[in-house]
Structure 1
């Protein structure tokens, strides 16, 4: 008996790339989905020039926590971008989210502590389940 090939699981490629790619590539792809202003916000900087500098290797994000936050944000954004347009993903990151007690995913990622990425990823998966 032959079995049909398994369909790739939504978000698996995003997860792999978030961990496999060098940080400048992650940030460049994240900027392509969310835009430079939102990436700067997530990275804790005010100017979008810093995002370009991160991508070009002229400087690095401030701390290991910020670097991990950017990788987490990429994974979540890329997961959502598998099923939605970039503009929808941007709006999702900035808007109040009932899965997150009406907090914006971007704000929770930036200010929410060590479990924030897990909460936001869960909300993204719930969104995808409802959108399907």
Structure 2
């Protein structure tokens, strides 16, 4: 992933390495990116907050979220990065909301909301690898 000014875009790195590590992005950047690419309602659902709060994080006008919420935001962001290396953002969004057999037929968004972050990332890696 790369950042151009205040706008974050996903770069498909054929080497499998991201231009920057997800830890280097601020919560404001991550919230803004997820809102733009997954939508505010889906982003808010995954972190258990209302759309206004997530929107304020994206604008930088709300104090940072608690640690558990930040972990969910970062997990969603990292998951998006894994899948977008091979697929469009539309495919990624569909993957987030679709039922997933690797997650006991829960959607990845639902699993993130429940805090099952490792399982979601493992499912994303399997999907990106063609499985």
- TM-score of the two chains, using structure 1 as the length reference: 0.79
More strand by share: 2
Alpha-carbon displacement from aligned partner over 1:89-116 (angstroms, at most 9, x marks no partner): 111111110111111111111113xxx2
Unpaired runs of 5+ in structure 2? 1-13
Asked if residue 35 in structure 1 is aligned to residue 35 in structure 2, the reply is no
1:44 positional shift: 0.9
Q: Name the counterpart of 1:59.
A: 62
Asked if residue 25 in structure 1 is aligned to residue 14 in structure 2, the reply is no
CA contact (8 A) 2:32 2:59 kept: no
Q: Return the index of the structure with the highest Cα Rg.
A: 1
Unpaired runs of 5+ in structure 1? 1-6
What is the RMSD computed on CA atoms of the aligned residues?
1.9
CA contact (8 A) 1:33 1:81 kept: no
The structure-2 alpha-carbon separation of the partners of 1:39 and 1:99, relative to structure 1 and needing over 3 Å to count, comes to same
- TM-score of the two chains, using structure 2 as the length reference: 0.80
The structure-2 alpha-carbon separation of the partners of 1:98 and 1:126, relative to structure 1 and needing over 3 Å to count, comes to same
More helix by share: 1
